[in-house]
Amino acid sequence: MGNLYGVIGHPVKHSLSPAMFEAAFWEYDMDDEYQKFEIAPEQLGAFLDGIRGNDEELARIYGLSVTIPHKEAIMQHVDALDAHTKAIGAVNTIVKDDGSERKDGRVLLKGANTDWIGAKRAIEEVMDVEGKDVVVLGAGGAAAAIVYACVQMKARVTILNRTLDRAEAMAERFSGEDAPVVKAGLLTDLMNCRANLLVHTTSVGMGADAERSLVPVEFFKRGMVVFDIVYTPLETRLVREAKRHECRIIPGYKMLLYQGERQFELWFRKKPRTEKMEEALLTHLQS
Ligand code: ATR
């Protein structure tokens, strides 16, 4: 019997991670399994203790993807965090030690953030943002990972949000010493901004809200890169209108794909066949 991996969230029912990782495991002919774990906030600590060895079945778990609402709360339950993860303030990956670094027999759980790496890779595939203007719409958890990635790549970032306080707090948090200052504003300031890359991170345009977009069509310019992290539907109104104005598009599912690629590398210390993970994701998203 192989080891167990999974995604914890609340709700977790619609997660696409199982499809993506099952495809990756299959390519390597691995007998590991990947499951969904529906865990309420008050169950989080006990669940992680189970992984550390308090529960025979959960002790089979060697890695987790972490989703809403646990990304921040889980930080206080892990034994180690890398500097990027601390700076972003959210964990989306748990890696259990393989026994080699164990002190006093305590099983160590490390927290990592691969969302920013997913965003970085998705953007780098299409453009080099160093010294370029990036406008990020939204100031929630997803925006934090994207703003961090753009600051790491030395872009000039402006965060626009419905609630100004949140945009300002995030801009202040990510304005580094050796990087350009991150600016903040309201969504209504968009027409006064310049953007080589526009990233949309709010839930507007998702699911039943599919026909809404926060971006006036007058904002689009030929050659501008547009990254809408909403991927249900696969083509949002924002993306459709951006394409019509000859913008270049980064598909929203790419961030999910590449954060998963990095999770696989952290768990197995080898690269997955990412194109197989992508095929599995697209099959689900198109059905
Ligand atoms: P996530 O982790 O998915 O980013 P979040 O932390 O809840 O989710 O953040 C949601 C983001 O979407 C916020 O920037 C939120 O704006 P506020 O800070 O003003 O709440 C934004 N958002 C959600 N619904 C919105 C709407 N109808 N119009 C504009 N922005 C919206």
Same domain, 264 and 169: no
Give the bridge partners for 33, in sequence order: 4
Task: Give catalytic residue positions.
Answer: 71
pLDDT tens per residue across span 46-74? 999 999 998 999 999 999 999 999 999 99
Residue with token string 């080589």: 196
Task: Check residue 41 and give its pLDDT.
Answer: 98
For residue 248, what pLDDT is reported? 98
Tell me, yes or no, whether 136 and 247 share the same domain.
yes
Out of 159, 203, 206, give the residue to mutate to test ligand 1, the one with the largest number of ligand atoms within 8 Å of its CB: 203
Low-confidence ranges of the chain (pLDDT < 50): none
Q: What is the model's pTM?
A: 0.95
**DSSP H helices in 137-178:** 141-152, 164-174
Do 151 and 171 sit in the same domain of this protein?
yes
* Residue 155 sits in the same domain as residue 167: yes
Which two tokens mark 139? 């100031």
Could you tell me the distance, in angstroms and rounded to a whole number, from the CA of residue 266 to the centre of ligand 1? 30
Q: The dihedral of CA 256, 32, 80, 274: what is its sign?
A: negative
- Domain range for 189 is 116-251
105 Cα–ligand 1 center, Å: 42
Are residues 173 and 234 both part of a single domain?
yes
Looking at the fold, whether 269 and 239 belong to one and the same domain comes out as no
Q: What is residue 1's predicted lDDT score, i.e. its pLDDT?
A: 82
Number of domains within the chain: 2
- CATH code at 179? 3.40.50.720
Q: Does 175 lie in the same domain as 68?
A: no
- The answer to whether residues 152 and 213 belong to one domain is yes
Give the pLDDT of residue 104: 76
Q: Is there a single domain that holds both residue 247 and residue 121?
A: yes
104 in the same domain as 89: yes
Instruction: Provide the 3-class DSSP secondary structure of residue 263.
Output: helix
Instruction: List 7's β-bridge partners, or say none.
Output: 36, 65
234 and 168 in one domain? Answer: yes
Cα-based distances in Å from 84 to 114, 144, 259:
9, 11, 14
The CATH number that applies at residue 79 is 3.40.50.10860
Query: Quick one: 184 exposed, middle or buried, by C-beta within 10 A (0-12, 13-18, 19+)?
Result: buried
Residues 107 and 205 in one domain: no
Please tell me the number of Cα atoms within 13 Å of 198 on its side-chain side.
28
